[in-house]
Amino acid sequence: MLLPMKLFLLFATFLCAAALRIPAATPAARPNLVLILADDCTKADTELYGGQAKTPNLMRLAREGMTFTQCFQAAPTCSPTRHALYTAKYPVKTGAHPNHTFVKPGVTSVAQWLKSAGYRAAISGKTHINPPEAFPFEYLSENSISPEKRHTTNPDFAAVEKFLGDCAKSAKPFGLLLCSNEPHSPWDKGDASAYPPERLTLPPIFVDTPATRSDYSKYLAEITYFDGQVGEALALIDKLGLRDNTVVIVLTEQGNSFPYAKWTCYDAGVGSGLVVRWPGRAKAGSTSDALVEYIDMVPTFFEAAGLPLPNDLDGKSFLPVLTGRANRHKTHVFALQTTRGIIAGPEYYGIRTVRDARHRYIVNLTPEATFKNAATNQESFKEWRAAAQAGDANAVRLTRNYQHRPSEELYDCVTDPWNQQNLIADPKHAATVAALRRQLAQWMEAQGDRGQETEMTALDRVWKKGDPK
């Protein structure tokens, strides 16, 4: 009887080992998630996407994972971006379409979904999400920081190391969001001397003035500072032996706060850098041109982990692209800008947009209004105006087009990546305009977006301390 018993035990051990190879069969086999988010960073300014800001850690991550060239977000401002990212829903549907906003009652988030699946869910650094009960993350900080101050903080890596160490020791799967406040202005971190203003190549959407060059230098230094935070996170993951079972996602967020980026629906405003490392699954050193959105990030991770999600999300998993089984994801991506209520903004200026693989179509809901924001109050923009008044034709064009726009715009994002040549009146593009106009109208209807009527309700969706809503 001894030999049969040994065979039985051997067979049972084999069955258990086989079961452990199925990710959904045991929490220990489920991948972890580390999502690292920048703040107001135009991807084209990073070394990874051909820019001047040195980003050695992003470059390393790209060598170890997949880099996406066409990732977009649902809004070009901080708070709507984060709400959409964490809820996997577009802003109007959740009520989180203006800046400094909050979601409607009943809207759930990745924090709740992770906890329901047996994960720990934590965040360190910038939050800018409300109400707290919809986003029940563990907040990681060695110091006491009031919720009202957390939208201007950086990750606390001492607290992060303790959290990761606890998870490693207990074999508890986790989802961790590391949200930087860089390179959001004021640009006062990093080594600006590494970027001498006189040696910089300015983007074609800038007027060349002294203040512009000085600000751009300090901004590029903060991108490198953010890259250092990416390096700190990767070092902790390696140190604690978590690398092989952790999906790392880095997003550069909306564009910078110079004109034509943040607060706009041009590619520089709603486009984002995206790198994903998943050892053994995402091909190292690979690149994808698939159209993906921020609202797709959480669904992708949850499918990778074999975890359930609510069935009413706008986001869709791009796991087949990540694992090399597909090269396409979406045919269209959408975004909006609600200018009502922003700092130094106009009474209203709503923007809606749709983009396919090549063209971006934009609707300005109130083109009769003058577009303005914090960027138009900057010293650099004052210099742009002065240059325009002095007869600089480029300054005249850039200042005029930024603040005064037609009702519709169309751009070829392949030949015109900075969205400067409006093709809306070109009859050769009439079919493209008609198709994109139809896509945008259908999206707005599905989201319950009533255009200007929705814009005028924006102030009702701005979070205030103690707000019972």
- Secondary structure (DSSP) of 427-464: GGGHHHHHHHHHHHHHHHHHHT--THHHHTTGGGGB--
Instruction: Check residue 467 and give its pLDDT.
Output: 52
Angle at 168 between CA 164 and CA 174, to 5 degrees: 60
Instruction: Check residue 9 and give its pLDDT.
Output: 37
Instruction: Check residue 465 and give its pLDDT.
Output: 61
Instruction: Check residue 26 and give its pLDDT.
Output: 43
Number of helices and strands (H, E) in the chain? 14, 13
Q: What is the mean pLDDT, run by run of 10 residues, along the chain of 469 residues?
A: 39 36 47 98 98 98 98 97 98 96 97 98 96 96 78 92 98 97 96 98 98 98 98 98 98 97 98 97 98 98 96 97 97 97 95 98 98 96 98 98 98 98 98 98 98 96 68
Instruction: Check residue 19 and give its pLDDT.
Output: 34
- Separation between Cα atoms, residue 341 and residue 459, nearest integer Å: 6
Instruction: Check residue 307 and give its pLDDT.
Output: 96
Tell me whether the omega of the peptide bond preceding residue 186 falls within 30 degrees of 0, making it cis. yes
According to DSSP, the β-strands at 333-338 and 292-293 are unpaired
Instruction: Check residue 249 and give its pLDDT.
Output: 98
pLDDT one-digit tens code per residue, 81-99: 999 999 999 999 999 999 9
In this structure, which amino acid lies at residue 435? A
With a CB cutoff of 8 Å and minimum separation 6, the contacts of 354 are 332, 333, 334, 360, 361, 436, 439, 440, 443
